[in-house]
Amino acid sequence: MQPKDTFFSRKLNINCRGDLIDLSQAKIMGILNITPDSFYDGGKYYQEDEVLKRVDLMVKDGCDIIDIGAYSSRPGANNISTTEELKRLTPVLNNIRKSFPGLIISVDTFRSEVATEVVKNYEVDIINDISAGELDSKMFEIIADLNVPYIMMHMQGTPNNMQDNPKYDNVVKTVTDYFVEKINKLKLYGVNDVIIDPGFGFGKTIEHNYQLLHHLNDFKIFELPILAGVSRKSMIFKTLDSTPEESLNGTSVLNTIAILNGANILRVHDVKEAKETIKLTTKFLGSKVDNWYD
């Protein structure tokens, strides 16, 4: 496939199989890790009945998208083959599609082969790539061919080494420059639906994460939807000297800040609380008092 000379326009919606999803009000992406070793919920959702119960609960709690990951990207996680990743994914996708036919499904993968398989054979709607094509040089071309929304995240290094003393002269500028390069490449391939994710916790110190959160609004310069994934991460529990299990309240606080700073999608473990966060924050943003003083 030859790159095409096309340009992005202002987009706060994504096209999922012909349906336009409006992201002008923040949406919830519920996390479903079907891995034995994810940092928070590894091993919880591996059996078929547990997976379907989990998805059913997230749907009832108000999630808009389910993001399924079969490859743990926590620091130091074990590498698995493409075959093993697909072995974990395909039965889960098959069961979810049968039970929830209208559900918007995202798959968290950095492999173009996996992206091709799940989109073509299991009607996956979105590909969520933690490496923005860095770990698979074919990914951008494949996404263009598949014609599905693409979430690209900034990560310094790989999951195995990303937290080995990450350094930046200016983390906000580095991530901005990174997206400039990646977006320009995607433009040439004619990819129409792109969501950017600054990659909280992926090759960043706690201070880097908070600098990115503080400047999240700066990424509006790209005129693309922004995803924030802070749920139960170390930027919360290390700051509070607690644990991932004790980080729900902290997650809600940072999700609120993310929405106030321009996030269009919250990627979360706890859908009900995220839904409440969005509802209250939206109410706050939409409220004003005129002539408050006579």
CA distances from residue 116 to 43, 127, 212, 276 in whole angstroms, order as listed: 26, 10, 32, 35
The pair phi, psi for residue 181, each rounded to 5°, is: -65, -45
Sheet holding 65-69, edge to edge: 194-197, 150-153, 126-129, 104-108, 65-69, 27-33, 265-268, 227-228
Locate tokens 């591996």: which residue?
A: 46
The pair phi, psi for residue 271, each rounded to 5°, is: -70, -45
Query: What number of other Cβ atoms are within 10 A of residue 160's Cβ?
Result: 13
Radius of gyration over every alpha carbon of the chain, rounded to an integer in angstroms: 18
What SS3 class is residue 175?
helix
Residues 276 and 102: their CA atoms lie apart, in Å, by 23
With 0-12 / 13-18 / 19 or more C-beta atoms within 10 angstroms meaning exposed / middle / buried, residue 206 is: middle
Strands 13-16 and 104-108, by their bridges, are unpaired
Residues 253 and 274: their CA atoms lie apart, in Å, by 10
Catalytically annotated residues: 233, 267
